[in-house]
Amino acid sequence: MPQYVSLRMQQQVQIIMDIARLVKNTAMFQSIEDTDLALLLERAHQRPYQKNREIFAMGDVAEAFYVVLKGWVKLYRLSREGGESVIHVLGPGESFAEAAVFNNSRTYPVHAQALEETVLLEIPRSFFVQKIEEDSQFALRILAAIASRQHYLVQQIEQVTTRTAPQRIGAFLLRFCEHKEGNARGFWTVNLPYDKSVIAHRLSIRPETFSRALAKLSPYGVKTNPSGEITITDMMALTDYCDISLFGKPC
Amino acid sequence: MPQYVSLRMQQQVQIIMDIARLVKNTAMFQSIEDTDLALLLERAHQRPYQKNREIFAMGDVAEAFYVVLKGWVKLYRLSREGGESVIHVLGPGESFAEAAVFNNSRTYPVHAQALEETVLLEIPRSFFVQKIEEDSQFALRILAAIASRQHYLVQQIEQVTTRTAPQRIGAFLLRFCEHKEGNARGFWTVNLPYDKSVIAHRLSIRPETFSRALAKLSPYGVKTNPSGEITITDMMALTDYCDISLFGKPC
DNA sequence: GGCGTAACTTGACCACAATCAAGTCGCGCC
DNA sequence: GGCGCGACTTGATTGTGGTCAAGTTACGCC
């Protein structure tokens, strides 16, 4: 039954094309050549994760790094008393743990967990190292990616140490607007991509405080619709209040 | 007067030898070959900075990165209201701003200032890129260095968000003990390398709070001698109090 | 519909650290 | 010595955000 086989093949091809498209959307592989992309897809594995599933634990040996194809991933650390500090939350097209595979200890410095039904591309360390050794341009691209990750962390530290809770929330909301290119009549709508409690932790705020702090932003044009989405009516005021430099993009 | 010339030459050689030794002490160049070292010293410039002198400002174009040969360097960011967040303080043998030269924006994401009379080795971006292109092992070493810098920043975020001021101070003191290999009779002595107010800022604490928080560590065996040095009599107790994992070295 | 759970909000209270303000110590300098 | 300056400490007070506890809302499910 050739029709059946051809259908299967067609599906396969479709899936691979989809992955290829997603991979090309990542900062790290956006200018990868097709021959290399083929090689990558051969060596890398697609892995599904259920909601709340652990991807790796802090201290695990780092044999691979990841690209998010679908869903959301939380990177976090735990203190002995169970205090959680969220280092990053990553969505489709973003990569993580690139640096861990190069660390001398070669262990992950954080825990990683899927926040939703998530699909990752798992890229083995060996492929990575080989690629760097034979292609210095690739090495430079990796360095750029890791450098901007570092930039992000530096910003994170600044935010947590010098801004108040409402300011951090405002800054977080504004980031989403940067991507969205703004609604015509001067106001933006943000649909929070994951639970508020996750956002709260990402900003080092307790959920209760998050709730109160969000309310404090109403004088600066931030309204929360009953439907759960947030609209920003006065972007200037909010930007000003949050003391955003606006020349440091998220990541 | 050949004696004079020979003396001058001898001095020159001595200075270069000194720099070479310091460079070989850095994580990044510890396994550099002598031919490359010679090339490096030819391309890199030694630069002295007076106390409190600015090395570069946030936003400046990053044409070079640096190795501290002598003195202390503070990396920090400023908020509009003048709030300062110290990202890092670096001493002899440590390098900084490696990542900045690879960033897409190619600008420094922080300010850098000399805390003391300081001497830096300034390594031009061009040398760096060239070296990476022709030596993939060097590229991997750079990646390792940047990766552990990233690890440091992650720890920094965790510290600031989950630990109290006394705990952070304790952790800071314990780091110095790791290097010092401990005094025989079970106690360690730490001489603070720079002003307490700088340490305070590095830990995101006001100087006043630092003073009080340090006093709160006395139940855990931390005594401040009138001479200004600090002794730790019960390392276990302090380690326990601070919730240190002790498997994440400073940098 | 009634129930149960999970996400979120609101309220009352508390604690850690920031702030403002004196006060002390150490040290170089005339 | 006396002075002045800068680093640090101590004191009194405030405020942001954490904690604990009780609602509220939304939504799935029998």
CA B251 vs. chain centroid, Å, equals 8
Contact at CB, B154 and A129, closer than 8 angstroms:
no
First-residue to last-residue Cα distance in chain A: 49
Cα distance from B227 to chain A (closest Cα, Å)? 32
What CA–CA distances, in Å, run from B148 to A115, A128, B142, B186? 27, 18, 10, 30
Confidence tier at B5 by pLDDT (50, 70, 90): low
Protein chain A, residues 175-204, with a C-beta closer than 7 Å to any atom of nucleic acid strand D:
204
Contacts of B219 (CB under 8 A, 6+ apart): none
Cα separation, B138 vs A102, in Å, equals: 12
Cα separation, B246 vs B223, in Å, equals: 22
Burial class (CB in 10 A: 0-12, 13-18, 19+), A176: middle
Contacts of B54 (CB under 8 A, 6+ apart): B111, B112, B113
Cα separation, B106 vs A146, in Å, equals: 13
- Residue A251, pLDDT score: 32
Judge contact between A230 and A221, C-beta under 8 A: no
Cα separation, B243 vs B251, in Å, equals: 19
**Which of B79, B167, B168, B66 lies closest to B114, judged by CA?**
B66
Contact at CB, B161 and A85, closer than 8 angstroms:
yes
* B46 CB below 7 A from strand D atoms: no
List protein-proximal bases of chain D (any atom < 7 A from a CB): 7-12, 16-21, 26
- Residue A3, pLDDT score: 58
Q: What number of other Cβ atoms are within 10 A of residue B184's Cβ?
A: 5
Q: Which helix (H) or strand (E) holds B162?
A: helix B136-162
Q: What is the DSSP string of B33-98?
A: -HHHHHHHHHH-EEEEE-TT-EEE-TT-B--EEEEEEES-EEEEEE-TT--EEEEEEE-TT-EE-T
- Residue A162, pLDDT score: 94
- Residue B211, pLDDT score: 95
Interface-testing mutation among A154, A202, A203, A209, with chain B (most B C-beta atoms within 10 A) = A154
Decide: helix, strand or coil at residue A55: strand
Give the global pTM.
0.89
Burial class (CB in 10 A: 0-12, 13-18, 19+), B201: buried
Judge contact between B68 and B120, C-beta under 8 A: yes
**Which of A107, A114, A112, A29 lies closest to A63, judged by CA?**
A107
The integer distance in angstroms from the CA atom of B106 to the C1' atom of C1 is 64
> Could you list the pLDDT tens digit for every one of the 251 residues in chain A?
555 667 778 877 887 887 888 888 887 787 788 888 888 888 999 999 998 999 999 999 999 999 998 899 999 999 887 789 999 999 988 999 999 998 889 999 999 999 999 999 999 999 988 988 888 888 888 888 899 899 999 999 999 999 999 999 999 999 888 766 666 667 888 888 899 999 999 999 999 999 999 999 999 989 987 777 899 998 889 999 998 754 433 33
Cα separation, B154 vs B128, in Å, equals: 26
Note the pLDDT tens digit of each residue in B34-62.
888 888 888 999 999 998 999 999 999 99
- Residue A165, pLDDT score: 96
Which residue type is seen at A32?
I
Q: Which helix (H) or strand (E) holds A188?
A: strand A188-190
Contacts of A9 (CB under 8 A, 6+ apart): none
Residue-averaged pLDDT of chain B: 87
Residue found by looking up tokens 């000003």 in the block: A240
Note the pLDDT tens digit of each residue in B148-175.
899 999 999 999 999 999 999 999 999 8
Contact at CB, B150 and A153, closer than 8 angstroms:
yes
What are A145's two structure tokens? 């990616």
Cα separation, A229 vs A190, in Å, equals: 6
Confidence tier at B247 by pLDDT (50, 70, 90): very low
Confidence tier at B3 by pLDDT (50, 70, 90): low
- Residues of A in Cβ contact (< 8 Å) with B80: 243
Judge contact between B19 and B41, C-beta under 8 A: yes
Q: State yes or no: pLDDT of B180 exceeds 80.
A: no
- Residue A184, pLDDT score: 61
Q: Which residue has the higher pLDDT, B164 or B17?
A: B164
- Best-predicted range by mean pLDDT (B1-10, B200-209, B224-233): B200-209
**Which of B166, B181, B180, B178 lies closest to B238, judged by CA?**
B166
Cα separation, B32 vs B30, in Å, equals: 6
Cα distance from B204 to chain A (closest Cα, Å)? 6
Interface-testing mutation among A126, A129, A157, with chain B (most B C-beta atoms within 10 A) = A157
- Residue A247, pLDDT score: 41
Cα separation, A110 vs A88, in Å, equals: 10
- Residue B246, pLDDT score: 44
Cα distance from A182 to chain B (closest Cα, Å)? 24
**Which of B119, B129, B55, B72 lies closest to B98, judged by CA?**
B129
